[in-house]
A and B are shown apart, each in its own frame.
Chain A
């Protein structure tokens, strides 16, 4: 079950993106963090112990929600707006 639950913006326009190779849908107004966690329960795994993480502060302070695009660019998920066609890779996908 996803970590976050939408209680507003449920019928906003769909934004299609790719998460670890899988086609997904977010909604207009989503951050990358919101889009991922409405679909998944984990956002990334930690570098040293590979423990599951899903961000913490949601305001760009704790730096615990960095994900990557397939091209290698790093994004802080909580402060980046979801854009159509984003191909997001969580370390979770690589570790699995």
Chain B
């Protein structure tokens, strides 16, 4: 019994250490398997060329008809994988931090560089959860795009009017970009910093109307100071998909 208890305690400690080590703080370099690109090689690869990467799931956006869209990231950079071939069973195995090897083609759609529809993947041993990188100071700069698709943070921004309601009153968010939607659709809201205003989105496939962030944005008031986290998606310019909104610290 004593041996069993000891084994149990040791196992728990090992697992706990592994869990701690996998959280963003792991400073070890990403060692890629044979035939797998580094992030720099991926960036250098031509559009429409075949790419093979090893990366870690950071968020799952959607699964439908054996296609999964996921945000992934390794210790050097991020990869958006659009509609990769994936059974529902495999999709359920993907959790935040799961290591996957993806084979597909690099493509660009409206400025978003991604691994195009139809990529294949396999789950590998390993786990890494990226910490949100503060890119607030990069907003409006040419350097921001170098962080495309990463899990990022924006701090101390002020909520501005997103539009007006039917009575002409300013509102803090809109359903769809022009207010044409309903509860459950994407939320659009404006935030400013140093006199510049930016439009951020709660993407409803990524965070639906049951999530905390969806509720938080619906409760925003113009003038609120907020901190946000999310993924640095691109659509004809930066279009962050926000996953967390909190009062500014």
- Say if A and B assemble together: no
Enumerate chain A interface residues (CB-CB to B < 8 A): none
Binding site for A on B (CB under 8 A): none
